[in-house]
Amino acid sequence: MPALLEARGIDVRYGRNNAVRTVNVSLDHGEIVTVLGANGAGKSSLLKALLGTVRADGTVLFDGVDISSWSAPRRVRAGLVMVPEGRQIFVSLTVHENLLMGAYCRNDEFSAETDAIYDRFPNLAERRDMPASVLSGGEQQMLAISRALLARPRLMMLDEPSLGLSPILVRQLFDLIRDLNRDGLTILLVEQNTHMALATARRGYVLELGAIVLEGGSRDLSSDVRLEEAYLGGQPDRAGP
Ligand SMILES: Nc1ncnc2c1ncn2[C@@H]1O[C@H](COP(=O)(O)OP(=O)(O)OP(=O)(O)O)[C@@H](O)[C@H]1O
Ligand SMILES: [Mg+2]
């Protein structure tokens, strides 16, 4: 069986800024894999390259099919779905309207799935017809993940989902990620919360200034001194003469 995702030689450039440098990543079916790295390391740019929302060089195989030239909506329809950094909830729309946006690429019946989502998240069900602005940060993250679920992902990419959440909500979020994975979802998790990410993922990659400087099993990465160095040494604002 081919890997669910195999990306080779991914390069993203913004003008002269080479934000992602010849990155190779792969995910097997059913894995949780994390991508770690300091601010500006290129994590979001890598996810956008995989999703097809920034121009990138390199090859992306999804379940063995070369999707490198596909548009982002076509990739979403194939099951490559992202929960973006900062959640990107539309606060003037209702909770339900936000949820339905996840189904924009579908033309089949999905009411059973929205019912299942409201069963899973009673807080969202109670606020279904209220503007999403009434939601707390944690509830907005649940809504962003629910919206992504409605796109029927085979691979869900989460960009710093724990950002700004209290420790209790972070724990709930990681429980949810594990639950979704147990239900069969493959997950690519970008995080700055290295501790929680490595406790959840099977393997990880560490990005520094756009390049992978370290990769391996979560336990090995947790105890690798180079992980901390990647965070400190890789900070653009700390790069002195
Ligand atoms: N749209 C853009 N135009 C120009 N430069 C960009 C753009 N997006 C990101 N960059 C630059 O590319 C580099 C990588 O940014 P990216 O957002 O991918 O990093 P990141 O690891 O996700 O950081 P963070 O942890 O802050 O989210 C940075 O130098 C950033 O300034
Ligand atoms: Mg980012």
Convert the pLDDT of each residue in 47-77 to its tens digit: 999 999 999 999 999 999 999 999 999 999 9
Q: Which of 11, 16, 17 for mutating ligand 1's site (highest number of atoms within 8 Å of CB)?
A: 17
**Do residues 210 and 14 touch, judged by C-beta distance below 8 A?**
no
pLDDT score, position 156: 98
Domain ranges of the chain: 5-91+153-238
| Separation of alpha carbons 206 and 156, rounded Å | 19
- Tell how far the Cα of 97 is from the centroid of ligand 1, in angstroms: 30
Separation between Cα atoms, residue 241 and residue 198, nearest integer Å: 32
Q: Tell me, what DSSP letter sits at residue 131?
A: B
Q: What pLDDT score does 235 carry?
A: 54
**Average pLDDT score over the chain:** 93
Band (pLDDT 50/70/90 cuts) for residue 4 is very high
Residues with CB under 6 A from ligand 1: 14, 17, 19, 37, 39-45, 85
Which of 23, 43, 45, 213 is the best mutation target for the ligand 1 pocket, counting ligand atoms within 8 Å of the beta carbon and taking the most? 45
The 3-state DSSP class for residue 63 equals coil
**78 has a pLDDT exceeding 90:** yes
Atom 25 of ligand 1 has which residue's CA nearest to it? 39
CATH superfamily of 5-91+153-238: P-loop containing nucleotide triphosphate hydrolases (3.40.50.300)
For the chain, the first-to-last Cα distance in angstroms comes to 48
- CA-nearest of 178, 174, 160, 180 to 116 is 180
List, in order, residues 6 or more apart from 50 with CB less than 8 Å away: 5, 7, 10, 60, 80, 157, 188
Nearest CA to ligand 1 atom 9: 45
Kindly report the CA angle at 200 between 198 and 202, in degrees rounded to 5?
A: 75
Mean pLDDT, rounded, for 210-238: 82
pLDDT tens per residue, range 85-98: 988 999 999 999 99
The whole-number pLDDT of residue 234 equals 52
Q: Among the residues of the chain, which ranges form H helices?
A: 43-51, 72-78, 95-101, 111-120, 122-126, 137-150, 167-182, 194-200, 218-222, 225-233
* Confidence label for 40 from pLDDT (cuts 50, 70 and 90): very high
Confidence of residue 2 (pLDDT cuts 50, 70, 90): confident
Q: Ligand 2 center to residue 199 CA distance, Å? A: 20
- Phi and psi at 225, nearest 5°, equal -65, -25
Give dist(CA 61, CA 131) in Å, integer. Answer: 39
Distance CA 150, CA 127 (A): 18
Residue 238 pLDDT > 50: no
From ligand 2's centre to the CA of 27, what distance in Å? 20
Report how far ligand 1's centroid is from the alpha carbon of 46 (Å): 10
Q: What's the pLDDT score for residue 184?
A: 95
* SS3 per-residue string spanning 186-211: EEEEEECCHHHHHHHCCEEEEEECCE
The mean pLDDT value for 31-45 works out to 96
Per-residue confidence band for 154, with pLDDT thresholds at 50, 70 and 90: very high
Of residues 136, 150, 156, 61, the one with CA closest to residue 105:
150
Q: Give the residue from 189, 191, 218, 193 showing the smallest Cα distance to 203.
A: 218
